[in-house]
Amino acid sequence: MKNAETFKKSVSKINFRLLPLYIIFAAAMIVFLIKLVNIQITGADYYRSASSVTHTRRIVTEPVRGEIFDRNGVPLVTNEYSQALMLDYDALPSRPSEKNAAIAKLSRILQKNGCDINTVMPALGTYPHVAYDDEAMKDPYVRNRFTRFLKRYGLDTEITCIELYETLFGRLDLLDDGGEHIYDSNTEDMIIRVLYTLDVYDFAPDNPFVLVSEADLKLITEILEANCRGAYVKKLFKRVYHYPEAASNIIGRVGKIPSEKMDLYLAKGYSYDATVGLDGVEAAFEDILRGEEGVTVITEDEYGNITDSRTEKEAVPGKNVYLTIDIELQQTALASLEAQIKRIVDEAVRSGEPDSGEKADSGALSVVSLKGEVLALATYPTYDITRLGENYAEYAADPRKPLFDRSLFGNYQPGSTFKIATSVAGIESGTITPDTVIDDKGKYTFYEDYQPSCWYVRGHGKLNLEEAIGKSCNYYFFEVGRLTGIDTMNRYCSALGLGRHTGIELPETEGVLAGPEYAATVGDVWVPGDTLQAAIGQSKNAFSPLQLSCCVSTVLNGGSRYKATILYKTCNYSGSDEQKNNPVIIDGIDISEQTVAAVKRGMKNSKEWTSDTKNYKFDVGTKTGTAQTTKTNNNAVLVAFAPYDNPEYTIACVIENGAKGGNAARPVFDVISHIYGLDADGRPNK
């Protein structure tokens, strides 16, 4: 009874006017409870997917490029590594306002760390104090790029810099709905500069942009911790050239894929922004040095947060390349060329005699083993490959043409050095023997309409082959050339490699082997007198120093013509799995031991007869050539082999406007002395 009364009193205290609120509250609680159950149970899969993967992108990892060494393991080109801060197209927000915010965030961090972003907009200052960079605009490439940008946005090419900025504020969503600037002037300016640069550099999924090429650890850490959208870190390498002048013509450069070769490299699996060899050894051995690209897969949520990162494919380092070049020998050759050219000019000026070498200014020298290994390819003047970009205009304007590789591309008349090939053709064709005697009477009178004279106008008298080579008798070789005939003579010369590529992995000239076939290609008619001139290395004959070296090597090899090569060996980046490059015979013709011996004796005799060579004490064979280029100028040419009894190397040297063949002797003897540890006169160093 007491409980019933208590219940009645409690009910009487309830305010039934609030009952509707209680019902609404209870209903709301039931709805929330149902929603919670749905989220936790029935809707779990949906919300899990909504909060997970929104974007996946693949980043190409460039492989470590192989390094380059000389035959003795001396580093020629090595790698220096840096961390680059990159901007990825797919990861950067596409909405203009969000993209601006991402760039602004990056800009503030970079500015705080004292870093400059690699932008190329040709403008100075910040709005409203902006003006075009007139100095930059002088570059046609910069000007054309800027004009293309204006046309893309439909802007007048005569627009002022201030007008351009004011237009871009609206085009790039840098103003709010009320027309007010969203960012401070420095941030705003950086956004414009970055967006301009991305535009003109064709920023795309396959063409990321380098924000900072060398980013330190502090900056990288701050960028990553701030979760800057679109930014990622990429390991870059820079080539370090240890002999930038001595080996500039050999090593070559690396850079981005040239547009005309893009399809070729893409077909090989390269990425658009890959670094490749552009020329020289870097290009010749690209497939060896390159390695294989890796791939990293990045997963981000809808806010740009990285939720996963995995390596899809490991990058494979390129192989190291060891060249046949001896860099110390290369330096000796280059220094000796420079010194000898200066010496020739000084002596010519001192003597006061015209056309005695006062115009000498350039030259080249090659050293080749009998099996085709190239130990030196010196060309003078040379250039600093590390400064090629900044000094290109200066190098290109230099009348001495330092960018021209004379050792591989110089087409020089061989002069009397060609008499070695004429001798081989004469003996092996059965036209003469080493003992054949010809009476040099001074003037060669076989033809009525063309009667050239020997350089020794009084005539050398009766000579055999050895004496004719030694004294470089033109008359003797006029007769040998006429009797042999141009077709037979050229068949042997071609087999010796004259007028043909040497096979070296670098680009080179093919040269010119004078004869009816070549004459027809240039619209000339070959006449008998041309054969006489060709037999002594004149007419249209023209070869590179490397071809001349290889020709002499082929003779000394008994007719086996080895492929010229600059590749010594390769090995893995770690130094293992070494693979040697073996000699390869690419052509040849049978040359008897009797012929080889006769040519060797003749070249030894030539050394003893020539005033510039006879005092060198080491036993070698040489042959000089004085090649007339104009009525007043001659090139100095000399070929040699060493040592005499057991030849290992052949050397060819050309000095442009060097006056006489003997003037090319000093650089040749300097490299021989270097190889065999001799003093300047060919005596053993004490």
Give percent of the chain with pLDDT exceeding 70. Answer: 91
The verdict on pTM exceeding 0.85 is no
Residue 554 placed within a domain: yes
Judged against a pLDDT cut of 90, whether residue 540 lies above it is answered with yes
Judged against a pLDDT cut of 70, whether residue 654 lies above it is answered with yes
Report the SS3 class of residue 36: helix
Residue 509 placed within a domain: yes
**Alpha-carbon separation of residue 544 from 341, 343, 653 (angstroms):** 19, 23, 10
Mean pLDDT of 394-413: 97
Residue 156: both structure tokens together: 């007048």
Judged against a pLDDT cut of 50, whether residue 132 lies above it is answered with yes
- pLDDT tens, position by position, 426-448: 999 999 999 999 999 999 999 99
Mean pLDDT of 64-76: 96
Domain that holds residue 620: 327-676
Residues in the chain: 686
Report the SS3 class of residue 271: coil
pLDDT tier, 228 (very low <50, low <70, confident <90, very high otherwise): confident
- What are the respective helix, strand and coil percentages of the chain, to the nearest 5? 40, 20, 40
Total domains in the fold of the chain? 2
Residue 375 placed within a domain: yes
Residue 401 Cα to chain centre, angstroms: 18
Give percent of the chain with pLDDT exceeding 90. Answer: 69
In this predicted structure, what is the pLDDT of residue 50? 45
More confident residue, 215 or 544: 544
In this predicted structure, what is the pLDDT of residue 48? 47
Judged against a pLDDT cut of 90, whether residue 115 lies above it is answered with no
For residues 91, 94, 98, 104, the Cα torsion angle rounded to the nearest 10 degrees is: 60
Cα end-to-end distance, the chain, whole Å? 136
More confident residue, 87 or 679: 679
- pLDDT tens, position by position, 2-60: 555 554 454 455 455 555 556 666 656 665 665 555 545 555 454 444 444 467 767 77
Distance CA 470, CA 440 (A): 14
Residue 79 placed within a domain: no
Distance CA 472, CA 456 (A): 9
Residue 389 placed within a domain: yes
Mean pLDDT of 527-555: 97
**DSSP-derived pairing of the beta strands 68-69 and 320-323:** parallel
In this predicted structure, what is the pLDDT of residue 398? 96
H or E, element range at 367: strand 362-369
H or E, element range at 640: strand 634-642
**Alpha-carbon separation of residue 245 from 286, 331, 383 (angstroms):** 22, 9, 5
Which residues have CB under 8 Å from 405's CB, separation 6+? Answer: 249, 364, 377, 379
Domain containing 570 — which CATH number? Answer: 3.40.710.10
Distance CA 153, CA 172 (A): 11
In this predicted structure, what is the pLDDT of residue 84? 85
| Greatest mean pLDDT among 27-41, 150-164, 485-499 | 485-499
More confident residue, 19 or 650: 650
Judged against a pLDDT cut of 50, whether residue 393 lies above it is answered with yes
- pLDDT tens, position by position, 321-368: 999 999 999 999 999 999 999 999 999 999 999 889 999 999 999 999
- pLDDT tens, position by position, 245-263: 999 999 999 998 888 898 8
Mean pLDDT of 548-552: 98
Residue 585 placed within a domain: yes
Residue 439 placed within a domain: yes
Which residues have CB under 8 Å from 229's CB, separation 6+? Answer: 91, 92, 93, 98, 102, 105, 304
For residues 519, 525, 528, 533, the Cα torsion angle rounded to the nearest 10 degrees is: -40
In this predicted structure, what is the pLDDT of residue 289? 96
Q: Which of 5, 28, 50 is the last residue of a domain?
A: 50
* Averaged confidence pLDDT in the chain: 90
Work out the burial of residue 116: count CB atoms within 10 Å of its CB; fewer than 13 is exposed, 13-18 middle, 19 or more buried. Answer: exposed
One-letter amino acid of 8 = K
How many Å is the Cα radius of gyration of the chain?
38
Distance CA 196, CA 444 (A): 75
In this predicted structure, what is the pLDDT of residue 504? 98
In this predicted structure, what is the pLDDT of residue 30? 66
Distance CA 27, CA 15 (A): 19
Which residues have CB under 8 Å from 276's CB, separation 6+? Answer: 254, 255, 256, 257, 265, 270, 283, 286, 290
Residue 113 placed within a domain: no
Give 219's strand partners. Answer: none
Cα angle 474, 478, 482 (rounded to 5 degrees) comes to 170
The answer to whether 375 and 564 are in contact (CB under 8 A) is: no
In this predicted structure, what is the pLDDT of residue 274? 85
Mean pLDDT of 286-302: 84
In this predicted structure, what is the pLDDT of residue 233? 83
Mean pLDDT of 181-202: 91
Least confident of 543-547, 572-576, 623-627: 572-576
